[in-house]
């Protein structure tokens, strides 16, 4: 089933949050081809963020297989998994997850610390971080500001720069545009697509905004790939 052009494969994956009997996620089959841009749509509570956590290996499936770039992430130790994630995946969370007291620059460079291969693709880290900020329309002087002092929309763009630096093969974004105004949202998406075009990066983005659909190579409905098992006591 696996071929060299696939970057993500899920097979018969089942997951239940510890202590939560009322929600279980079951994904019979889902995959991403290298270089494609995919929009994942689904209603709130349908398990989109849970699915992304399984793909990133921040939680591990109760059964089944999750493979990124051909590596079954269940075969890695917790430490190996953290390094593997830093190398392979640029993450943009719904809540940004920036270090509020660290500078914008340090936040952007953070993933490179744990990912030597990703680091090796960056010649001048500081210049590249500044360039990414500029591409995302952030004012030049924010680079030394504490991340926590930025507006919500600016923080989201810093999170995007952190995900893009060093060109990880897979970018995963969980509702990244919800805090952005229309113009900023367009710039933000254009940069993600440009990275995908120029570096063959795969993009998986979750949203509940179906209007974004025609900008992506493929649109996937959560209800088509997953069964959310809601058990009533
Ligand atoms: P979506 O992103 O589609 O809105 P989620 O994956 O966030 O859906 O949530 C699906 C279900 O999993 C919900 O019932 C939610 O309460 C539960 N859930 C999400 N995150 C956690 C967590 N960290 N611990 C326990 N339950 C969680
Ligand atoms: Mg979510």
Domains of the chain: 6-231 (3.40.50.300)
Model confidence pLDDT, tens digit, residues 110-147 = 999 999 999 999 999 999 999 999 988 899 899 999 99
Number of the ligand 1 atom closest to the C-alpha atom of 23: 14
Residue pair 170/68 in contact by the 8 Å Cβ criterion: yes
What's the predicted TM-score (pTM) here?
Answer: 0.93
4: which strand partners? none
Ligand nearest 46 Cα, by number? 1
As for ligand 1, residues whose beta carbon falls within 6 Å of it are 17, 20, 23, 42, 44-50
**Ligand 1 center from residue 47 Cα (angstroms):** 6
Q: Which residue's C-alpha comes closest to atom 6 of ligand 1?
A: 47
User: What distance, in Å, lies between the first and last C-alpha atoms of the chain?
Assistant: 38
Kindly tell me if the per-residue pLDDT of 157 is higher than 70: yes
Q: Which residue's C-alpha comes closest to atom 21 of ligand 1?
A: 17
- Kindly report which listed range (119-128, 165-174, 220-229) carries the lowest average pLDDT score: 220-229
Report the C-alpha gap between 178 and 139 in whole angstroms: 21
């Amino acid at each position: 089933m696996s071929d060299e052009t696939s970057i993500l494969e899920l097979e018969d994956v089942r997951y239940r949050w510890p202590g939560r009997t009322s929600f279980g996620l079951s994904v019979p089959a889902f995959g991403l081809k290298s270089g494609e841009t995919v929009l994942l749509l689904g209603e709130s509570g349908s398990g989109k963020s849970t699915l992304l956590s399984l793909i990133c290996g921040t939680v591990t499936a109760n059964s089944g297989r999750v493979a990124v770039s051909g590596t079954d992430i269940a075969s890695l130790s917790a430490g190996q998994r953290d390094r593997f994630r830093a190398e392979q995946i640029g993450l943009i969370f719904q809540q940004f997850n920036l270090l509020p007291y660290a500078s914008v620059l340090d936040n952007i460079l953070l993933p490179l610390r744990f990912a030597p291969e990703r680091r090796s693709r960056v010649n001048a880290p500081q210049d590249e971080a500044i360039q990414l900020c500029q591409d995302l329309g952030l004012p030049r002087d924010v680079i030394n500001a504490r991340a926590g002092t930025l507006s919500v929309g600016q923080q989201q763009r810093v999170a995007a720069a952190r995900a893009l630096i060093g060109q990880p093969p897979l970018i995963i974004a969980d509702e990244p545009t919800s805090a952005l105004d229309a113009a900023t949202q367009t710039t933000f998406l254009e940069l993600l697509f440009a990275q995908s075009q120029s570096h063959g990066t795969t993009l998986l983005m979750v949203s509940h905004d179906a209007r974004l659909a025609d900008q992506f190579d493929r649109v996937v409905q959560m209800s088509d790939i997953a069964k959310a098992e809601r058990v009533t006591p």
